[in-house]
Copies of this chain bind each other. A is one copy, B any other.
Amino acid sequence: MATVTAAERRAEAKRAYDAYVAACPSRKLLDTLSDKWVSLVLNALADGSKRYSDLARTIAGVSQKMLTQTLRGLERDGLVTRTVTAAVPVRVDYRLTSLGESLLPLMAAIKQWAESHIDDVEAARLRYDADSENSP
């Protein structure tokens, strides 16, 4: 890589995806990944396929509308597969694709970080709010 001209570097920089650019597709993808329901759904599918009702039970507080909407988006983006088993009653299973599984460790890490650092954050909030009372 010794002979990389400045022009080549400029061309590369121009071509590479950059999530800081508002119009860049990767920025929009980052926006969708930064959805509260996406991270929870992906984590919920960590250990194999789950039925729709299983997901709804695991992720407390999600409305069926948002769950369906989130799953549709993930399916469209190739992160989960949707399998309908014709039976009575109908059975629908969701499972991570290999692409989804490549993302899972990152989402799991975020979720875990939130659960293990919430104490630090709440302590910081108390300090911040206490300071705010004295200034105005």
Number of copies: 2
Please indicate the chain B residues that have their CB under 8 angstroms from the CB of A103 in the complex. Answer: 113, 117
Asked if A110 and B60 make an inter-chain contact with CB atoms under 8 angstroms apart, the answer reads no
A31 CA to B62 CA, complexed, in Å: 13
Please indicate the chain B residues that have their CB under 8 angstroms from the CB of A78 in the complex. Answer: 120-121, 123-125, 127-128
Determine if A91 is an interface residue (Cβ-Cβ < 8 Å).
Answer: no
Asked if A125 and B76 make an inter-chain contact with CB atoms under 8 angstroms apart, the answer reads yes
A25 CA to B121 CA, complexed, in Å: 10
Known: A21-B60, A99-B124. 7 other contacts (CB 8 A): A17-B118, A19-B111, A30-B110, A76-B124, A78-B128, A99-B117, A107-B110
